[in-house]
Structures are given as C-alpha cells and as structure tokens.
Amino acid sequence: MPDEREKIELLEKVFDNQQTLISSADSKANIALTIQTFMTTSVLGATVIVDTLGKVAKCSSMVMWPYYLLFALFIITSIIGLILCILVFRPSPPQEEKELKRDGLTYFDHIIKFKTSDDYQKKINKITQPDIVNEFACQNYTLALLLHSKMKYVKSSTVFLIINIGLGIILLGFSLAIK
C-alpha cells in the first residue's frame, strides 16, 4: 500500500494533468470561437450572399425556400456554435452538497470563507498528511467535473463549427450558382 507521500505525488500528477487539459480546452474553444466568428462574418458579409438574397426574392419558390432555409440554418448554427464556444469559459460543474459545505484549503471559494488570513494560517498549520491527501483528492475530483463540463462544450462547439463550415460553403456555392 502506498504511503502518504506517494499518494500526494500521484494526486499532484493528476492535478497537473487536469490543469493542462483545462488550458487545452480553453485554447480549443478560443480557436473555435475565432473561426466561428470569422466564418459567420465572412459569409454574411460576402457581397455575393447579399446580392443573392435580393435576387432570390424575385425567383420562384423552388429556388427561394431552399435558399432561405439554408440561410436560416447557417445563422442558427452560427449562433449555437458561438454560444457553445463561450460556455466553455463559464462551465458550471455540478457540486455535491458535501463539497459546498467543506472547509477546504486550496480553492479560493473555500479560502475566502475564513474571516482573516490568520484563521486560514491556523488551519494550514493544523493540517496533517492524511488531510493533505484528502484535500488534494477533493480538489482533483472537482477539477475533473469542471474539465468534463468544458470538454463537453468543446466537442459540441466543434461539431457546430464543422456543420457551419459546410453550410457556409453550400450557401456560397448556391449563391454563385444563382448569380
């Protein structure tokens, strides 16, 4: 059975790995947000799209409805994709009632519950090796929940980004074909 020091080392590795993955999720969301914004403004700002909107209104319903449907789908997927990218930066992992009431030492929410810095320092001085292991384990579990929430949004935003790129290409192609 591992001793306390080995447990702490393992928990530190898990913590570092989760911090790296959280940073990676934020970077991916930032890239997806940039591409999504660029795609949306490029397609909506393209003169061929704006010109085609006016021409389609004069066409038969066989051309008009598919074009408007495609245009509406593009706008809807753009908005959903942008919202999902933004949600990566504001995940709200579910927290257990026990965790909310816990008198922890590592999270800022737990630290600010102490009335003074002296109270916090006293609690730090009283901590034992098993308490450190427990604190790390709780922190890693909460970080895992946070990471899971972030990655869920990253995956969803990536799907909407790919759909949006496809819709944008089809929309531009449709506009060029009508022109």
pLDDT (tens place) for every residue of the chain, 179 residues total: 778 888 888 989 999 999 999 999 999 999 999 999 998 898 888 878 777 877 777 777 777 888 889 989 999 999 999 999 999 998 776 677 777 677 777 777 778 888 888 888 888 888 888 888 888 888 888 889 889 999 999 999 999 999 999 999 998 888 888 76
CB 140 within 8 A of CB 11: yes
pLDDT reported for residue 100: 66
Contact (Cβ atoms closer than 8 angstroms) between residue 91 and residue 141: no
> What whole-number distance in Å separates Cα of residue 147 and Cα of residue 139?
12
Counting Cβ atoms within 10 Å, is residue 81 exposed (0-12), middle (13-18) or buried (19+)?
buried
Identify the domain containing residue 140 by its residue range.
4-178
Residues 6+ apart with CB under 8 A from 56: 63, 64, 67, 68, 178
Instruction: Please state the domain count of the chain.
Output: 1
